[in-house]
Structure 1
Amino acid sequence: MLSQPVFGDRSLTQAFYQAVIDRFYNGFSLSTEALLRDCTLGFAPCPDGVKTFFIIAPSLDAAEQLIEKIDSILERVAELMAGVGQVALCIVPACSEADRPVALQDLEKVPPDCLACKFFTILCADAAADR
C-alpha cells in the first residue's frame, strides 16, 4: 500500500509557485523590487491556453512604471518560469469601489469592464536568435 503524500497537490503547487514568485523579486533593483512587492502576482492560463504570469498593479502610476521595466521583467520570467508564454500587466482602474486595491482572490468580484490588462509575449532566446 502506498503512503499518503504529506502535501496535497494543491498545497504543493501553491508552495512551488510562491517559491518561484519569491525568487522572481530577487532579480531586480531595490526600487523595482519594491514596486513589484506592491503588486499582486499570480499564474493562470488565458482562454487560448497560454500560461500567463499576471502582475496586478495597485495603480495606473505603478503600472506605467512597470511598463518602463517590462523588458527586464520579461527576461526574468523567461529565466525562471519555463512554460509561461506571456506576462499580463493589469490594473483595476478607478471604476472599482472606493478605488481600493483588490486582492487576487477577489478579482472575480470586479466587473470585467473595470479590469484593464496589457499582454506581453515572452520570446524564447532560441526564437530571438533565429531572427
Structure 2
Amino acid sequence: MLSQPVFGDRSLTHAFYQAVIARFDEPLSLSTQALLRECTLGFAPCPDGVKTFFMIAPSLDRAEQLIAKIDNILERVAELMAGVGQVALCIVPPGSEAEQAVDLQNLEKVPADCLACKIFTIICADAATDR
C-alpha cells in the first residue's frame, strides 16, 4: 500500500517555486540582488501557456536598471528554471490598485493597471548547440 503524500501537488509546487526564487539571485552581482529584493517575483503561464517568470518592479527607474542587467538575469533563469520560456518585467507602483490585487499564485495575466510590461524570451543555448 502506498502512503498518502504529505503535501498536495499545489503546496509542493508552491514550496518548490519559493525555494527556486530564494536561490535565484545568489550568483548575481550585489547590485542586481538589491534590485531584485525590491521586486515581487513569481511564476505564471501566459495566455498561450508558456511558463513565465515575473519580476514586478516598484518603479520605472528600477525596471530600467533591471533591463540593463537582463542578460545576466535571463542566463540565470535558463540555468535554474527548466521549462520557463520567458521573463516578464512589469511595473506596478506601490500603493496602486494593481499592487493590492497581485496574487502570483493565481496570476493569469499582467495586472490590470500595470504601467508597463516587457517580455523577454529565454533562448536555450543547449538547444542551439545540439543541432
CA distance in 2, matches of 1:95, 1:12: 31
Change (3 A) 1:111 1:17: closer
Q: Does 1:76 align with 2:76?
A: yes
User: What residue in structure 1 maps to residue 120 of structure 2?
Assistant: 120
Identity across the alignment (%): 80
CA distance in 1, matches of 2:111, 2:52: 21
User: What residue in structure 2 maps to residue 24 of structure 1?
Assistant: 24
CA distance in 2, matches of 1:124, 1:111: 28
Say if 1:26 and 1:33, in contact at 8 Å, map to a contact too: yes
Say if 2:58 and 2:94, in contact at 8 Å, map to a contact too: no
Deviation at 1:126, TM superposition (A): 3.0
TM-score by length of 1: 0.83
Higher helix share: 1
CA distance in 1, matches of 2:99, 2:48: 28
* 3-state SS of paired residue (1:21): helix
Q: Deviations over 1:28-54 (max 9, x none)?
A: 111110110110011111011111000
CA distance in 1, matches of 2:128, 2:100: 36
User: What residue in structure 2 maps to residue 88 of structure 1?
Assistant: 88
CA distance in 2, matches of 1:95, 1:88: 21
Q: Does 1:14 align with 2:14?
A: yes
CA distance in 2, matches of 1:111, 1:51: 16
Aligned residues: 127
Paired AA for residue 126 in structure 1? D
Paired AA for residue 15 in structure 2? A
Paired AA for residue 104 in structure 1? V
Unaligned runs of 5+ in 2: none
CA distance in 2, matches of 1:14, 1:94: 24
Change (3 A) 1:103 1:70: farther
